[in-house]
Amino acid sequence: LAAIERAARGWRQRIGARAAASGTPHSHAMGDLLAHAFPDRIAMQVEGQPLRYQLSNGRGARLHEDTALLGEPWLVVLDLRLEQRDSLIFAAAPFDPALLERDYGERFEQRRAVYWNAEREAVEAFEERRFDALVLRRRSVPVQPEDAVPALLARVRERGLDALPWSDAARRLRARAEALRAWVPELGLPDLSETALLATLEAWLAPYLAGKRKLDALSAAELSQALAAMFDYGQRQQLDAQAPEALTVPSGRTHKLDYAADPGPVLAVKLQELFGLADTPRVAGGRVPVTLHLLSPAGRPMQVTQDLAGFWERTYPEVRKELKGRYPKHPWPDDPWSATPTHRTRGHADR
């Protein structure tokens, strides 16, 4: 403690303070004096962690394991050295917290504080008595709606959009909107990119979080409603017309389009279901061809093309030979343009 004593004597001379009164622990007297010089270095021991301290300036720090100060609940830190991951206390003096009220009453604050409880994945609220950044007392209080929504939005920004309950339908809506927005920018569709959605949470998500304390209280249906509400009637009509969720193929069956694929959109469909279809389907008002993933009767990929007419003319004759050998019960006509589309075997198709 020699360095601390020298510093204490120096500060005592500067401020004209008297020596410690009889009966006052000498180390505490030094801490009291140093606190006047370094009020931002007053440190409180972290509960359950005897080597760790929280400083009144908001920093965290730790004592060395073999320190003589081990167990002191309050310190004034004189020498604090920054390390790569932490701050290490090299010199400090014990401090009597009763002196805080006497000498620093103006630095106390009573306030409500809202925190995110990572273990419960929920918002919690407390009433706290603070000295600068040090929380001296805390009691739990009911969470108010105006407290919860900002905390939930902050959690979403911290974790990203994956923190939300995305349904397949909501993901498809985003992919469709983002694709059509890129293909036909003049439509002025809302920006549903992750960057844009995170930047505008208050506008589109906050109304659906009202009254909630946890993110998992938000349902997938509510999230889909929040996204849909970003489109006006005309924009939704254009989205459904120019970027349909699914296409009906010549067999009469309807298959979903994958707009998240690259290049998209992708239509995965059994080859036989497209008999009679001469041209590749297109979206975005005819601007963008659908990428066809042509499947075998077993659902295995056989061919990928954006030129169905060229496939029928140049590639189908060779593919037909292979498929006819593998799947003899299925129809493989010589003329795919005039054949009846089907997803069934030859016997079912004939009936």
Angle 319-324-325 (CA atoms, 0-180°, nearest 5)? Answer: 105
Question: 289 with 224, same domain?
Answer: no
Residue 302 in any domain: the answer is yes
Predicted confidence (pLDDT) per residue in 22-63, tens digit: 444 455 778 888 888 889 999 999 999 999 999 999 999 999
Question: 234 with 308, same domain?
Answer: no
Domain boundary among 194, 225, 242: 242
* Encoded tokens for 135: 């929380």
Question: 325 with 251, same domain?
Answer: yes
Which residue, 162, 121, 145, is CA-closest to 208? 145
Residue 150 in any domain: the answer is no
Residue 116 in any domain: the answer is no
Residue 151 in any domain: the answer is no
Domain boundary among 222, 242, 262: 242
Question: 321 with 236, same domain?
Answer: no
Rg of the chain on CA atoms, in Å:
35
* Encoded tokens for 29: 């007297």
Written in H, E and C, the secondary structure of 236-267 is HHHHHHHCCCEEECCCCCEEECECCCCCCCEE
Q: What is the pLDDT along the chain (351 residues), one digit of tens a residue?
A: 455 556 555 555 554 544 444 444 455 778 888 888 889 999 999 999 999 999 999 999 999 888 889 889 999 998 988 876 778 998 999 988 888 888 888 899 999 888 888 888 888 889 999 999 999 999 998 888 788 899 999 999 999 999 999 999 999 999 999 999 999 999 999 999 999 999 999 999 999 999 898 999 999 999 999 999 999 999 999 999 999 999 999 999 999 999 999 888 999 999 999 999 999 999 999 999 999 999 999 999 999 999 999 999 999 999 999 999 999 989 999 999 999 998 765 554 444
Written in H, E and C, the secondary structure of 59-108 is CEEEECCCCCCCCCCEEEEEEEEECCCCEEEEEEEECCCHHHHHHCHHHE
Residue 226 in any domain: the answer is yes
Question: 269 with 344, same domain?
Answer: yes
Question: 12 with 66, same domain?
Answer: yes
Question: 227 with 262, same domain?
Answer: no
Parallel/antiparallel/unpaired status of strands 254-256 and 282-283: unpaired
Question: 255 with 312, same domain?
Answer: yes
Question: 223 with 291, same domain?
Answer: no
Phi, psi for residue 141 in degrees, rounded to 5: -135, 160
Q: Are 216 and 123 in contact (CB under 8 A)?
A: no
Parallel/antiparallel/unpaired status of strands 60-63 and 134-141: unpaired
Total domains in the fold of the chain: 3
Question: 284 with 324, same domain?
Answer: yes
Question: 85 with 24, same domain?
Answer: yes
Residue 137 in any domain: the answer is no
Residue 132 in any domain: the answer is no
Which residue, 234, 247, 342, 323, is CA-closest to 290? 247
Angle 302-278-185 (CA atoms, 0-180°, nearest 5)? Answer: 90
Angle 238-243-246 (CA atoms, 0-180°, nearest 5)? Answer: 125
Q: Which amino acid is at 135?
A: V
Residue 124 in any domain: the answer is no
Single pTM value for the model: 0.69
Q: List the domain range (segments joined by +) for residue 167.
A: 159-242
Parallel/antiparallel/unpaired status of strands 282-283 and 288-289: antiparallel
Domain boundary among 189, 220, 242: 242
